[in-house]
Amino acid sequence: MKKFGILATVLAVTFTLAACGGKDNNKPAAAEANSANSQQAEAAADPIKIKIADTATNPVLRVAKSKGFLEKYGIDADIITFATPAEGINSLFIKQADIGWGADFPSLNAVSKGDFSIIAATGTDTEASAAQWKLFVRDEIQSPADLKGKKLSTLRGTFLPYLWDVYLKDNGVAVADTKEIGQGGFDEAYVALKKGEIDASWVIGATLIDKFKAIEGVHELTDMSKTSVRIGGTIIAPNSLIKDHPQAVANFLKALDETSKYITANPDETADILFAETKQPKEATIRDLATNNWKVGFTQQSFDSLTNQKNYMVGAGIIKNDFNLADKLSLDSVQQAVPDQFTYKK
């Protein structure tokens, strides 16, 4: 009888430990299930169909759509390709797109004139990003002083007039002693420089840099990291979209954050996706990823960059009517989406 009693006790303890162990082992799975259910609930609460303005060289939005990150959060997105981010932002005015992104300059220009707000920064305002902006000039231009009397490319609606203004002044050249030529995109600048119709052009992106390097009689003079100019990137949306779909905006930013992490971990697949969709060479995409992959959020540095750019634009008469920058920020969604990447003190 004692043996049966001992055996029963051992079996009871064994079953109890097994049951406890089973519960512990299921905790990670349960946590993942709860997280997935939470994400599905957020997406179901505010599904949306939107059009997003983009460029052919930016991997983030195309990977977000291709790999299902947008769909995961209830976002049915169409991506519309423009020659420059500034063109994409301008498309918001005619409702050709619902969300745009670009440097501080076109974003501020848009929010100063239209019913739009900045919803996040792209986190691309770094020294490394600045170094990617290269200045290509004709061979007779060996120093900034040689730019006097020359024709300078400025892509319409971009921050390049600001960059030229600062660069020339820092090097003792009067802007009035040069001629700025407005162009619609980098390809137009490339053709113009090759034909001798312009003398200098700022360029970014591995593919474009390689093309400009190959132009006979042209060389790289400097890059933007050697100037005092630092340009942030921002994402903007109509106030009506922000008001009517606040959860969808937060979901959109969450999807972009997950996408950027995926891109970092999968550069080769990212390059394959961009090649399949825009024919950008894979090696160029991989070279650009270090500076062309977003870290969505909003920091004090983001605010300071916008402030400096706005002050220049108002002073130069580009923005006719000054405004309170804080009134053009709608940051509740980014604070909800990526709280660890939101350090701006309102």
SS3 for 94? coil
What is the average pLDDT across 143-168? Answer: 92
Is there a contact between 235 and 101 (Cβ–Cβ < 8 Å)? yes
Q: What pLDDT digit, counting tens, does each position of 74-119 carry?
A: 999 999 999 889 999 999 999 999 999 998 989 999 999 989 999 9
Residues contacting 116, CB < 8 A, separation 6+: 92, 110, 236, 237, 238, 239, 328
Please name the amino acid found at residue 325.
L
Predicted local distance difference test score (pLDDT) of residue 298: 97
Query: 10 Å Cβ neighbour count for 118?
Result: 25
Longest alpha-carbon distance in the chain: 109
Tell me: pLDDT of 226 over 90.
Answer: yes
The confidence score (pLDDT) of residue 140 equals 97
Least Cα distance to 90 among 105, 70, 75 occurs for: 105
Distance of CA 297 to the CA centre of its chain: 10
What whole-number distance in Å separates Cα of residue 302 and Cα of residue 230?
A: 10
Spatial distance between the Cα atoms of 110 and 93, rounded to a whole number of angstroms: 8
Residues 308-326: tens digit of each pLDDT: 889 989 998 889 999 999 9
User: Which of 216-220, 229-233, 236-240 bottoms out in mean pLDDT, i.e. has the lowest?
Assistant: 229-233
Statement: residue 263 has pLDDT above 60: yes
Query: Do you know the residue count of the chain?
Result: 346
Tens-digit pLDDT profile for residues 51-67: 999 999 999 999 999 99
User: What mean pLDDT value characterizes the chain?
Assistant: 88
CA gap 71, 255 in Å, rounded: 9
Rg for the chain, CA atoms, rounded: 25
pLDDT in tens, 129-138: 889 899 999 9
For residue 26, pLDDT over 60 is answered with: no
Task: Give the residue among 134, 111, 114, 65 at the shortest CA–CA distance from 325.
Answer: 111
SS3 257: helix
**Model pLDDT, residue 176:** 94
- For residue 306, what pLDDT is reported? 93
Contact criterion met (CB below 8 Å) for 188 and 205: no
Interatomic CA distance for residues 296 and 237, integer angstroms: 15
The more confidently predicted of residues 157 and 191 is 191
Residue 10 has pLDDT above 50, yes or no: no
Residue 36 banded pLDDT, cuts 50, 70, 90 = low
Q: Indicate if the pLDDT at residue 139 is higher than 60.
A: yes
The answer on pLDDT for 29 being more than 80 is no
Mean pLDDT of the region 257-263: 97
Beta strand 200-203 pairing with 179-183: unpaired
Nearest to 72, CA basis, from 238, 256, 266: 256
Rounded Cα distance between 269 and 187, Å, is 26
Distance of CA 109 to the CA centre of its chain: 17
Q: Is the pLDDT of residue 45 over 50?
A: yes
Whole-angstrom distance, CA of residue 248 vs CA of residue 235: 14
pLDDT tier at 240 (50, 70, 90 boundaries)?
A: very high
Q: What secondary structure does DSSP assign to 163-218, as a single string? A: HHHHHHHHTT--GGGSEEEEESSHHHHHHHHHHTS-SEEEE-SHHHHHHHHTSTTE
Given a contact cutoff of 8 angstroms between Cβ atoms, the answer to whether 217 and 308 are in contact is no
Average pLDDT over residues 218-239: 93
Tokens found for residue 223: 């890059």
Look at 160 and 253; give whichever has higher pLDDT: 253
Dihedral of the alpha carbons of 77, 79, 80, 86, in degrees to the nearest 10: 100
